[in-house]
Structure 1
Amino acid sequence: MNMTTATQALNILNAILHIRRVDEKAAPSAAPGSEIQQIQAIQLPRIQRFVEAGEPIEFVLPAFPAKSPNPNKVLGRLPDLAERISLQSLDKLCADVKRLYAPGARLTICSDGRVFGDVIGVNDTDITEYQSKISQIIKQKHADHLKLYNLEDCKLLTAPENDFDRLRQVMIEGYAESLKAIKRKLMSSNEGIELYCAISRFMFEDNLMPDYIGSRRALQKKAKSMAVEVIQRSWAWGDLLAQQFPDAIRLSIHPQAPSSLKIGVHMMPAQNAWITPWHGVAVDMGDRVELMNRKSAELCGGRLVIQDGQPSHYVVEPGQLADAPIAQAV
């Protein structure tokens, strides 16, 4: 590795790490800097291959599936300011790479809405409308570094592109492990247990609708089962993408261990390390725009803003936040 390309690769990685998503609750690294060293050992050779070939850095990010079905968490079924800011942030990452490295970068958003929509209770019509709006935002914002990729775009799956149920089935048959194997693997590491707990919490919150009349215990049991199935589908999707984009730098919207092939990234400030634009709302705090769930935004005294005829985000006036009750997740 010559010094010029080595420096370029390191600068590119540092640009990614600038928006790295870290789980604040995770145990700290035993030695200062050891996490970064682990990430460098994995990622620098991968970035270096693009630099040596003089090709644009290729990123893939499984993200932007569809809005949560729970109105306590989101404003509706369509993308809003949270998605707009997040897409601009991803485009900025590529622009930052371009300033460091002339060939630049491109980022493929691999939407996983089709992958597990039937599990989380979001129908394909809503997913189609959400994806269509994401495409419109990318065009409106001239986010030329970004493109969308959906399950129906994958040529490795031998099924009609408009038969979503069949596409999901072919993916599961060809790329997924059994649910029992997934559960066993999750329980075998701290990272797996943390992921299982986080996704279980998401499933619980998504299904704790305002009109839910069942017991919390029953819903928790259902959420745990759903979490394993969502993770099964997500991992299958990841394996499929690894075949489709074998050399790409793999990003994630979740925190990742330093030893992972993926790098977790933030797209905007957030209430916690796990919240996403499709599980929350954008709240203008005056000095920043932050992601939180809708119920928290309303507890903070947020004023709803309508743009282009649809709910967009909340605004919290100076002084309101300090006087608001502590906002908890649903």
Structure 2
Amino acid sequence: MFATFPDLFTIPDRDVWAYGEALRLLAIESGCTHLRFTRLKDLVDVPGLPDKLEEITYVANALNFRRALLNQFSNPDLDVTKEIAEKDDTRLTYCGYTRFLKNDLRYIFPIGENRSSRKYLKDVKYVAKQMIYRGSAFGAALKQNFPDYLRLSIHQSTGEHKISISLLATNTSYTTPWHCSVAFLADGSLTSGPKGDFEGNPKFELVCEKDGRPSYFRERETGAVNEDDY
């Protein structure tokens, strides 16, 4: 679903491709042989595509995929504001979008002389409604292409159209990996939260993968605090 609205967050389509490829590689390395991946192109009709997409051809067509999704599956009569007011499922999703967008977009569109807090919040709500509109089209595309499948979601819902699941066995409300960092406590349990919370806490240390990529935080052994953290 992420490929449906990266432009709303100024995320390059090249990054979306890299993210998708990393997930596929992770599934292979983890031995998850029963996982199958579907790209946005598989849900829409876009003529003239090569038999197999590579990075360049994906980026060249990403906008076409989103246009096709809206042209083929969106409901032009959908009143998102009314849906939010009258349907619990839509309202739960909207509130979730707004909560995370309010935090995420401030790093891209900072509040300042030319953008008041009130104007920023208004714009955040607008983006959230655009996500609802595109999400509705995405849901319709899934229903047509996968009529016999059960739809899972990381967002809160009433269970009417999808079943909510948590991807992290955490003791906090931060449950989506792309909105938080994870940390393993000394007793082996897992917690999650904003990256800055762990970076600013000397109890935790950052753990990187073999290629140097930051992966997760880990609680230091009792009393093992690096003096450089102060």
TM-score (norm 1): 0.57
Residue 318 (structure 1) shift: 6.0
RMSD: 2.3
Confirm or deny that 1:248 pairs with 2:146. no
Q: 1:163-200: per-residue Cα shift (whole Å, max 9, x none)?
A: 11111111112212348612211111344333222211
Instruction: Spell out structure 1 runs of 4+ moving beyond 6 A.
Output: none
Confirm or deny that 1:316 pairs with 2:205. no
**Alpha-carbon distance change, 319 to 211 in structure 1, aligned in 2, over 3 angstroms:** farther
Contact 1:203–1:223, Cα closer than 8 Å, also in 2:
yes
**Alpha-carbon distance change, 242 to 315 in structure 1, aligned in 2, over 3 angstroms:** same
Confirm or deny that 1:145 pairs with 2:46. no
Residue 251 (structure 1) shift: 1.0
Whole-angstrom distance in 1 between the partners of 2:221 and 2:34: 36
Residue 223 (structure 1) shift: 0.6
1:195 alignment partner, one of 81, 93, 114:
93
Confirm or deny that 1:169 pairs with 2:67. yes
TM-score (norm 2): 0.80
Q: Relative CO higher for 1 or 2, CA cutoff 8 Å, sep ≥ 6?
A: 1
Q: What is the aligned partner in structure 2 of residue 115 from structure 1?
A: 4
Residue 242 (structure 1) shift: 0.9
Q: Which moved more, 1:235-244 or 1:271-280?
A: 271-280
Residue 147 (structure 1) shift: 1.6
Contact 2:208–2:216, Cα closer than 8 Å, also in 1:
yes
Q: What is the aligned partner in structure 2 of residue 12 from structure 1?
A: none
The alignment-based identity, stated in percent, is: 23
Whole-angstrom distance in 1 between the partners of 2:19 and 2:77: 28
Q: 1:220-256: per-residue Cα shift (whole Å, max 9, x none)?
A: 1111000011111122111101111100111111122
Residue 202 (structure 1) shift: 1.4
5+ residue gaps in structure 1?
1-111, 321-330
Structure 2 counterparts to residues 59-70 of structure 1, below 5 A: none
Whole-angstrom distance in 2 between the partners of 1:311 and 1:265: 26
Contact 2:88–2:158, Cα closer than 8 Å, also in 1:
no
Contact 2:180–2:193, Cα closer than 8 Å, also in 1:
yes
Whole-angstrom distance in 2 between the partners of 1:113 and 1:223: 17
